[in-house]
């Protein structure tokens, strides 16, 4: 590729050139036929913007409040496992990039760096911890305690992965996590002195987790608890009833159950069900500032990006991830300006409509 990357697709191409086939397949791939993986991106483009003219807007700001504190843009970094597969700094580089861009990084339970190290590397950054719940409550508690003790500000419980999805790209390439690249916080929480494989880790997770467990966790935790992996109004209502401070409309980037709704299609019903009682975030397929604006117009408080940040990290380490975040902020700022909106919260459902059917099918 020639020249500097000017959009997320360019970062993806550079990352694809750099990474070996197995690692690329692990990050890029989805479940089974990847119907949802593709639909996540396509679904934002089934909406069209309704911009307003002569709105008298001179200065546009992109900052918003999320869970009571400011971020420079309504774009947060989603939890993504094993970031040292693409860059030697891994999660540390990602945390520094998010801090430099003025936004939140959500650290995965399956991170290759412990919460304390991430906090020490980016002390000024805002951090949330993504939690997988284990059959052994002591392990879950130890993971949470480490995050709380390291200054993380929220716990994001992922509920769409009682088992790993069927990732056929990994089956074809024969990809497995290289020996020696472990998940140190899980290892510490288990109290073992050897690496635990991803298969072992998934086998130790609790597939029987229920709303009652979620409620107990939320009531015992000093931090706000968000539920990640919600796709229906029914579950959004249950999440609020059981004490969640927020929901993340997500299908795990199309990596878990294939053929579920794209997140852009699930978002409106979740927003309508929550009715402002909790924070609503969304991830999956966000690749442009216009995608972010559509999500906000549909009622999301902010979006998260998974692969785009990873492509930045793979292409240029911490600096690359920061540039991806800044690129999306710039695209959002331009979109807001051209929509006649002075700030993200000026966007409303009046700014979007479904794309005419003919344009959806002609691409």
Q: How far is the CB of 81 from ligand FMN (least distance, A)?
A: 4
Cβ contacts of residue 160 below 8 Å, gap of 6+? 228, 229, 250, 251, 252, 256, 257
Q: Which of 96, 127, 169, 252 is catalytic?
A: 252
In angstroms, the CA 48 to CA 214 distance is 37
In angstroms, the CA 145 to CA 162 distance is 22
CB contact at 8 A, 78 and 305: yes
Nearer to ligand FMN, 173 or 337 (CB): 173
The angle subtended at Cα 228 by Cα 226 and Cα 229, nearest 5°, is 150
Q: How far is the CB of 305 from ligand FMN (least distance, A)?
A: 5
> Among this protein's residues, is 242 annotated catalytic?
no
Nearer to ligand FMN, 328 or 339 (CB): 328
Give the footprint of ligand FMN on this chain (CB under 6 A): 26-27, 40, 78-81, 108, 110, 130, 158, 228, 250, 252-253, 255, 283-286, 305-307
In angstroms, the CA 213 to CA 232 distance is 19
Nearer to ligand FMN, 60 or 95 (CB): 95
Q: How far is the CB of 212 from ligand FMN (least distance, A)?
A: 21
CB contact at 8 A, 263 and 282: yes
CA distances from 287 to 24, 60, 332 (A): 18, 21, 11
Q: How far is the CB of 57 from ligand FMN (least distance, A)?
A: 29
Nearer to ligand FMN, 113 or 130 (CB): 130
Residues marked active site are found at 252
């Amino acid at each position: 590729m020639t020249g500097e990357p000017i959009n997320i697709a360019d970062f993806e191409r550079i990352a694809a050139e750099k990474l070996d086939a197995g690692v690329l397949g692990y990050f890029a791939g989805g479940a089974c036929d990847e119907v949802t993986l593709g639909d996540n991106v396509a679904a934002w483009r089934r909406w069209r913007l309704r911009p307003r003219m002569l709105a008298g807007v001179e200065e546009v700001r992109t900052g918003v409040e999320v869970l009571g504190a400011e971020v420079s843009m309504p774009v947060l970094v989603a939890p993504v496992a094993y970031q040292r597969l693409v860059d030697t700094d891994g999660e540390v580089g990602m945390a520094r990039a998010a801090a430099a861009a003025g936004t939140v990084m959500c650290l995965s339970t399956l991170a290759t760096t412990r919460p304390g190290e991430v906090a020490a590397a980016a002390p000024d950054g805002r951090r949330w911890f993504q939690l997988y719940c284990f059959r052994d409550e002591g392990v879950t508690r130890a993971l949470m305690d480490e995050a709380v003790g390291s200054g993380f500000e929220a716990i994001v419980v992922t509920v769409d992965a009682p088992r790993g999805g069927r990732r056929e790209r990994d089956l074809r390439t024969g990809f497995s996590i290289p020996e020696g690249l472990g998940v140190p916080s899980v290892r510490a929480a288990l109290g073992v002195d050897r690496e635990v494989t991803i298969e072992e880790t998934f086998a130790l997770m609790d597939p029987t987790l229920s709303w009652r467990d979620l409620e107990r966790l939320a009531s015992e935790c000093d931090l706000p608890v968000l539920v990640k992996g919600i796709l229906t109004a029914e579950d959004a209502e249950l999440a609020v009833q059981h004490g969640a401070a927020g929901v993340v409309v997500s299908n795990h980037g199309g990596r878990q159950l294939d053929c579920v709704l794209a997140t852009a299609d699930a978002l409106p019903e979740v927003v309508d069900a929550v009715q402002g009682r909790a924070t609503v975030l969304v991830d999956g397929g966000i690749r442009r500032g216009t995608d972010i604006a559509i999500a906000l117009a549909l009622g999301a408080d902010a979006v998260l990006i998974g692969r785009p940040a990873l492509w930045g990290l793979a292409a240029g380490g911490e600096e690359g991830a920061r540039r991806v975040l800044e690129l999306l902020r710039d695209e959002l700022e331009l979109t807001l300006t051209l929509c006649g909106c002075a700030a993200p919260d000026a966007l409303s459902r009046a700014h979007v409509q479904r794309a005419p059917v003919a344009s959806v099918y002609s691409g």
